[in-house]
């Protein structure tokens, strides 16, 4: 046993498989008591099965760690409160929440249904809010706490067929930053992390000529690579790190920029539609961003 998280209690959502499972196991190895949360549904959010969470708990216990399984649905306000309550009842404390739970329903925007939008937003964005909000009063009272929320380059940069997923994950970045601002005075920190990893969610993305290169790169990246930096972020050694957006891409750790003004135009007379067309847009056009996708920004192979 190592001790980076010795004595801490950590909630990891979506921890029955993939990235979440690897984070939960490493957190336990580093000394944390872990609540392994997973609804156990399909990649698209259907169904419920506590089995995957129980399997991760069994692995943690077999390695000498402490953990409990929890099947709460993070998209539910009441379930999220029950999740945090279960951690407090079992372990007496909560020190960190890692909001990893997510679903994927890839479809081109003009074909996207209301349910495709609502379900993805409910789990990926509202789920992060629900669990973080449920833990916030305890963190405030104890004057401590750390959040890590999983975002994605599908929102930070963009990808085909992921309007619902990208919007929810971009929302997670904003959620994390505003939590960091609101909770800083209580000693609570919040960061967002974009994981690059081959998971069952990524495996559902249709293999089309447009995304073939993206999927080929993704297959080289395993979920266990995400865990070390995630665990580090919720450790006391990172107590000065908050409000940031990171990425982990195999053995590469990335700090993302955040939107800031890059160019302005001004006129003392005020603008008209005509002067916006003749002056403002031409002045700004040189700084426009291209319609890049994630794989067009990350052009180098992960090693």
Under a CB-based contact definition with an 8 Å cutoff, are residues 106 and 205 in contact? Answer: yes
Residue 15, helix vs strand vs coil: coil
What letter does residue 233 receive in the DSSP assignment? H
Output phi, psi for 180, to 5 deg: -60, -40
CA angle 295, 243, 129 (to 5 degrees): 85
Q: Active site includes 46?
A: no
Under a CB-based contact definition with an 8 Å cutoff, are residues 141 and 157 in contact? Answer: no
The whole-angstrom separation of Cα 70 and Cα 50 is 7
Helices 163-183 & 114-121, crossing angle to 10 degrees?
A: 30
Of 165, 196, 229, 298, which is the active-site residue?
165
Alpha helices, H only, 33-109: 51-62, 77-91
Beta strands in 66-132 (DSSP E): 66-70, 96-99
Helix (H) or strand (E) holding 29: helix 18-29
The whole-angstrom separation of Cα 186 and Cα 118 is 33
Q: Which residues are catalytic?
A: 165
């Amino acid at each position: 046993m190592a001790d980076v998280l010795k004595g801490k209690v950590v909630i990891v959502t979506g921890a029955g498989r993939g990235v979440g499972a690897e984070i939960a196991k490493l957190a336990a190895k580093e000394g944390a008591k872990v609540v392994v949360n997973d609804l156990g549904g399909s990649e698209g959010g259907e169904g419920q099965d506590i089995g995957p969470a129980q399997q991760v708990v069994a692995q943690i216990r077999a390695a000498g760690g402490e953990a409990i399984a929890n099947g709460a649905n993070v998209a539910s306000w009441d379930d999220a409160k029950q999740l945090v309550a279960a951690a407090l009842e079992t372990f007496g404390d909560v020190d960190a929440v890692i909001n990893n739970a997510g679903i994927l329903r890839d479809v081109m925007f003009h074909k996207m249904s209301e349910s495709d939008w609502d379900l993805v937003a409910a789990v990926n964005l509202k789920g992060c809010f629900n669990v973080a909000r449920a833990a916030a009063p305890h963190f405030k009272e104890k004057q401590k706490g750390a959040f890590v929320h999983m975002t994605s380059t599908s929102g930070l940069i963009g990808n085909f067929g992921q309007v619902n997923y990208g919007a929810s994950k971009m929302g997670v970045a904003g959620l994390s930053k505003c939590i960091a601002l609101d909770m800083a005075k209580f000693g609570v920190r919040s960061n967002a992390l974009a994981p690059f990893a081959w998971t069952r969610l990524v495996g559902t993305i249709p293999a089309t000529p447009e995304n073939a290169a993206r999927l080929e790169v993704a297959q080289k990246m395993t979920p266990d690579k995400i865990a070390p930096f995630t665990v580090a972020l919720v450790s006391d050694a990172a107590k000065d790190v908050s409000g940031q957006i990171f990425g982990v891409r195999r053995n590469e750790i990335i700090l993302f920029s955040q939107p800031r003004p890059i160019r302005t135009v001004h006129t003392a007379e005020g603008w008209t539609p005509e002067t916006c067309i003749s002056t403002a847009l031409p002045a700004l056009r040189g700084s426009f961003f291209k319609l890049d996708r994630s794989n067009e920004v990350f052009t180098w192979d992960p090693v």
